[in-house]
Amino acid sequence: MAQSTTRLAPHAPSPKCLGRAMAPPMTSHDALPTLANRTQDLRVALFSGNYNYVRDGANQALNRLVGYLLSQGAQVRVYSPVVEHPAFPATGDLVNVPSFSVPGRGEYRIPSALPGRVRRDLADFAPNIVHVSSPDVTAHRAVTWARARGIPVMGSVHTRFDTYPRYYNMAWIEPVLTAILRRFYRRCDGLVAPSESMAQVLRDQRMNYDISLWSRGVDRTIFDAGRRDMAWRRSLGIADDEVVVGLFSRLVMEKGLDVFSDTIDELVSRGVKHRVLIVGEGPAREWFEARLPGAVFAGFQSGTNLGRAVASMDVLFFPSVTETFGNVTLEAMACALPAVCAEATGSESLVTDGVSGRLIPPGRIHAFAEAVRSYVEDPVLRAAHGAAGEARSRDFSWDRINQAVADTYLRLIRQKARAGK
Residue 10: is it exposed, middle or buried by C-beta count within 10 angstroms (0-12/13-18/19+)? exposed
Residue 164 has pLDDT above 90, yes or no: no
Q: State residue 414's pLDDT score.
A: 95
Which of the 8 DSSP states describes residue 32?
A: P
Degrees (nearest 5) of the Cα angle 352, 353, 359? 110
Q: State residue 82's pLDDT score.
A: 95
State the pLDDT confidence band at 397, using cuts at 50, 70 and 90. Answer: confident
State the pLDDT confidence band at 419, using cuts at 50, 70 and 90. Answer: confident
All structural domains of the chain with their residue ranges: 6-217+398-419, 225-393
Number of Cβ within a 10 Å radius of residue 9: 17
User: Cβ distance 299 to 277 under 8 Å?
Assistant: no
Angle between helices 379-393 and 365-377 (to 10 degrees): 100
Judge whether 6-217+398-419 and 225-393 match in fold. yes
Residue of higher predicted confidence among 66 and 194: 66
**Cα–Cα distance, 146 to 244 (Å, whole number):** 50
Average confidence (pLDDT) over 311-329: 90
Residue 344 has pLDDT above 60, yes or no: yes
Q: State residue 28's pLDDT score.
A: 41
- Provide the pairing of β-strand 244-248 with 211-213: unpaired
CATH architecture of residue range(s) 6-217+398-419: 3-Layer(aba) Sandwich (3.40)
Q: Which residues pair with 410 in a beta bridge?
A: none
Instruction: Calculate the alpha carbon distances from 125 to 113, 164, 298, 311, 420 in Å.
Output: 19, 35, 44, 44, 22
Phi first, then psi, for residue 255 (nearest 5°) are -85, 10
pLDDT digits (tens, 9 = 90+) for 222-251: 999 999 999 999 999 999 999 999 999 999
Q: State residue 421's pLDDT score.
A: 58
User: Cβ distance 152 to 126 under 8 Å?
Assistant: no
**Cα–Cα distance, 360 to 256 (Å, whole number):** 13
DSSP string covering 295-353, please?
A: -EEEE---HHHHHHHHHT-SEEEE--S-BSS-HHHHHHHHTT--EEEESSTTGGGT--B
State the pLDDT confidence band at 290, using cuts at 50, 70 and 90. Answer: very high
> Strand locations in 112-243, DSSP E?
129-132, 153-156, 190-193, 211-213
Q: State residue 107's pLDDT score.
A: 82
Residue 111 has pLDDT above 90, yes or no: yes
- Range from 45-54, 82-91, 174-183, 207-216 carrying the lowest mean pLDDT: 174-183
Instruction: Calculate the alpha carbon distances from 20 to 7, 14, 69, 75, 128 in Å.
Output: 20, 10, 15, 10, 15
pLDDT digits (tens, 9 = 90+) for 182-211: 999 999 999 999 888 888 888 998 999 999
Q: State residue 264's pLDDT score.
A: 98
Q: State residue 57's pLDDT score.
A: 82
Largest pairwise CA distance in the chain: 71
What is the average pLDDT value for the chain, to the nearest integer?
A: 88
Q: State residue 16's pLDDT score.
A: 34
Residue 5 has pLDDT above 50, yes or no: no
Residue 22 has pLDDT above 50, yes or no: no
Residue 198, H or E segment? helix 196-204
pLDDT digits (tens, 9 = 90+) for 373-390: 999 999 999 999 999 999
Number of Cβ within a 10 Å radius of residue 286: 10
Q: State residue 208's pLDDT score.
A: 93
Helix (H, G, I), strand (E, B) or coil at 371: helix
Q: State residue 370's pLDDT score.
A: 98
User: Cβ distance 188 to 132 under 8 Å?
Assistant: yes
pTM: 0.71
Task: Of 329, 90, 91, 53, give the one whose Cα is nearest residue 215.
Answer: 329
CATH number for the region 225-393 comes to 3.40.50.2000
